A and B are shown apart, each in its own frame.
Chain A
């Protein structure tokens, strides 16, 4: 009887160890998929990265690294399409969906900047498809996720401008150039606002300020010069 008990205990222990072993082997397989996905991501083979991270997620849907890797791969694919001027709405929708799931798995601040940027891109892609698209909630979410995502601020200000809320837009642009003096678009767009309101002097002030901060920026240099010339013309014509 005792021998049987000892054997049962031994076999139970061995069985447990074998189960752990199998689990470890499965994890090891996942580990290999992870490594392959990471390698693919690093060298820009984003489609293969998607495949490998997806394999890991098939077995471990809550695997944070695999989920983050997949989101990054989608992000990179979408961004590549941006550069090629292709339609990107679907890509960004997929990317944002992945980040949304990731945010459940990983509540740390680590993923927020990229998630925020993905939301900005999604909003822009939606506008590209439909100029009347309601994207302000997306941009607000983007800003909430990353207070330093000035692209989202900038796009929000543009939309507010189109909605006639120029004062609010001006505040946002002013906020951007105060926090990030090298953000050229904010200077351009704020100057544009003034120009549109026939406040050419203020437009020149803003563009020239931007040109001073970013002397290499061709757009700011161009419009600073145009504003100067226009102001001179107005002086010569007696309108100013």
Chain B
């Protein structure tokens, strides 16, 4: 767990449930006015702490930032930054050019993770967020990388095969995630983005395992063609351009897949050249995609689907019932404010007292009185004492007679 005196979980001032899944529940949290996502794992589920710790060191715009992880009351949890965008599983069919740009970004992020020895292991459309807001205010970096589109990968480090519809065949055999398994998942992810549906549909673990092991038997281009989205000369070009990707990614034998993310990047670049027809055209494709999605966010009724986890949400400033953890009350700042004011008052009183009790006048008055009494005394004594005695002595003295 990230070491800190006070955890983010202790500083939550508002929160609400976004999504309740079999593996974990997702909450949107308000921590000090900023938005965070809490992934609260259900009983029996957890994350690979080693993976999370290493992923924490990867700082790339394409990867979510895990801010805190640990256990609370025995439950594993993760807190990561809120990505203001769309979960790609809610976007329906995505233009091929846009999907390829997104795939390239995700591959780049996975490559950076790989350098830390981390494989994602749970790639799925739900775990890739397309950001819109950042794209609108795009800086030069975003423009260069994706022409305003940024794809952010979330949720790495899962224990288990991950989303079954995107898991590599070897993952069903209990092998850990690696670069090759992530590459396989990327192939399925790309298909989902382009087709708007999963390549492999099955019921249950065994069926998924079997179909993944026989993925070569599927003619992906034919399946895409059957969606009627590619029934044009342009569609034919796109299907042709994508074939190298299916051939390099959707292979049941890991050794037959592309070597690594770098090789994949080259293949994507070639496909993009064929599909997009140059940078200007590509930029136009992406811009059009972002504009259309932007319109969807301004219209909440659009498809009724763009309102799930990690989509644009209002940050809750109050706690809702059902949060699985105990947090500070929302108005703690009021208490601290009151305490601060009290301390301020006390300081003022102390200052007041300091001026009131530091009485230098007492000593000065004492000195003045002492001086007065000592200057008064000689005349009193000199008048009194010799008067009697000297006078009485004089009586015994002879009195001059001649004067």
B218 within 8 A of A: no
B363 within 8 A of A: yes
A114 within 8 A of B: yes
Bound-state CA distance A117–B372 (Å) is 12
Contacts of B301 in A (CB 8 A): none
With known contacts A24-B349, A76-B369, A220–B398 Cβ distance under 8 A: no
Question: Would you list which residues of chain B between 332 and 385 have a CB under 8 Å from chain A?
Answer: 332, 335, 338-339, 342-343, 345-346, 349-350, 352-353, 356-357, 359, 361-363, 365-366, 369-370, 373-374, 377-379, 381-383, 385
B3 within 8 A of A: no
The answer to whether B369 and A72 have CB atoms under 8 Å apart is: yes
B400 within 8 A of A: yes
Bound-state CA distance A121–B140 (Å) is 95
Measured CB to CB, the closest approach of chain A to B324, in angstroms, equals 13
With known contacts A2-B10, A17-B339, A151-B374, A68–B363 Cβ distance under 8 A: yes
The answer to whether A21 and B357 have CB atoms under 8 Å apart is: no
The answer to whether B390 and A192 have CB atoms under 8 Å apart is: yes
Contacts of A233 in B (CB 8 A): 397-401
Bound-state CA distance A18–B390 (Å) is 72
B229 within 8 A of A: no
A175 within 8 A of B: no
Closest to B335 in A: A10
Contacts of A17 in B (CB 8 A): 339, 342-343, 346
Contacts of A113 in B (CB 8 A): 370
Bound-state CA distance A220–B398 (Å) is 21
Query: A42's contact among B326, B353, B357, B361, by CB below 8 Å, is which?
Result: B361
Question: Would you list which residues of chain A between 7 and 55 have a CB under 8 Å from chain B?
Answer: 7, 10, 13-14, 17-18, 20-21, 24-25, 27-28, 30-32, 34-35, 38-39, 41-42
The answer to whether B362 and A69 have CB atoms under 8 Å apart is: yes
Measured CB to CB, the closest approach of chain A to B31, in angstroms, equals 16
Question: Would you list which residues of chain A between 116 and 170 have a CB under 8 Å from chain B?
Answer: 117, 151, 154, 158
The answer to whether B362 and A2 have CB atoms under 8 Å apart is: no
Contacts of B401 in A (CB 8 A): 233, 236
The answer to whether B390 and A223 have CB atoms under 8 Å apart is: yes
The answer to whether A226 and B366 have CB atoms under 8 Å apart is: no
Measured CB to CB, the closest approach of chain A to B320, in angstroms, equals 15
A96 within 8 A of B: no
A209 within 8 A of B: no
Contacts of A232 in B (CB 8 A): 400
The answer to whether A28 and B363 have CB atoms under 8 Å apart is: no
Query: A217's contact among B328, B382, B390, B399, by CB below 8 Å, is which?
Result: B382
Contacts of B402 in A (CB 8 A): 236
Closest to B394 in A: A226
A104 within 8 A of B: no
Interface 1/0 per residue, B294-337 and A, CB below 8 Å: 00000000000000000000000000000000111100100100
What is the total of A-B residue contacts with beta carbons within 8 Å? 150
Measured CB to CB, the closest approach of chain A to B349, in angstroms, equals 5
Bound-state CA distance A195–B397 (Å) is 10
The answer to whether A28 and B378 have CB atoms under 8 Å apart is: no
The answer to whether B389 and A72 have CB atoms under 8 Å apart is: no
Interface residue count on the B side (C-beta < 8 Å):
49
A6 within 8 A of B: yes
Query: B383's contact among A27, A69, A72, A219, by CB below 8 Å, is which?
Result: A219
A184 within 8 A of B: yes
Interface of B is mostly: helix
Bound-state CA distance A7–B328 (Å) is 9
Measured CB to CB, the closest approach of chain B to A135, in angstroms, equals 15
Closest to B9 in A: A2
Closest to A1 in B: B326
Contacts of B400 in A (CB 8 A): 229, 232-233, 236-237
A75 within 8 A of B: yes
The answer to whether B362 and A68 have CB atoms under 8 Å apart is: yes
The answer to whether B382 and A21 have CB atoms under 8 Å apart is: no
The answer to whether B357 and A151 have CB atoms under 8 Å apart is: no
Measured CB to CB, the closest approach of chain A to B299, in angstroms, equals 40
Measured CB to CB, the closest approach of chain A to B142, in angstroms, equals 41
Contacts of B329 in A (CB 8 A): 3, 6-7
B393 within 8 A of A: yes
The answer to whether B352 and A28 have CB atoms under 8 Å apart is: yes
Bound-state CA distance A239–B400 (Å) is 12
The answer to whether A230 and B361 have CB atoms under 8 Å apart is: no
The answer to whether B328 and A6 have CB atoms under 8 Å apart is: yes
| Chain A interfacial positions (CB closer than 8 Å to B) | 1-3, 6-7, 10, 13-14, 17-18, 20-21, 24-25, 27-28, 30-32, 34-35, 38-39, 41-42, 65, 68-69, 72, 75-76, 79, 110-111, 113-114, 117, 151, 154, 158, 182-185, 188-189, 191-192, 195-196, 200, 217, 219-220, 223, 226, 229-230, 232-234, 236-237, 239
Nearest 6 pairs between A and B by C-beta?
A31-B356, A233-B400, A185-B381, A188-B386, A38-B361, A184-B382
Beyond A17-B339, A72-B365, A188-B382, 14 additional pairs, beta carbon < 8 A: A6-B332, A24-B349, A27-B357, A38-B365, A68-B363, A69-B359, A188-B386, A196-B393, A230-B398, A233-B398, A233-B399, A236-B400, A236-B401, A237-B398
**29 sampled A-B residue pairs with Cβ under 8 A:** A2-B10, A3-B326, A3-B328, A17-B339, A17-B346, A28-B352, A34-B357, A35-B356, A39-B361, A41-B361, A68-B362, A68-B363, A72-B365, A79-B373, A111-B366, A113-B370, A151-B374, A151-B377, A154-B381, A158-B385, A188-B382, A188-B386, A192-B385, A223-B386, A226-B390, A232-B400, A233-B398, A233-B399, A236-B402
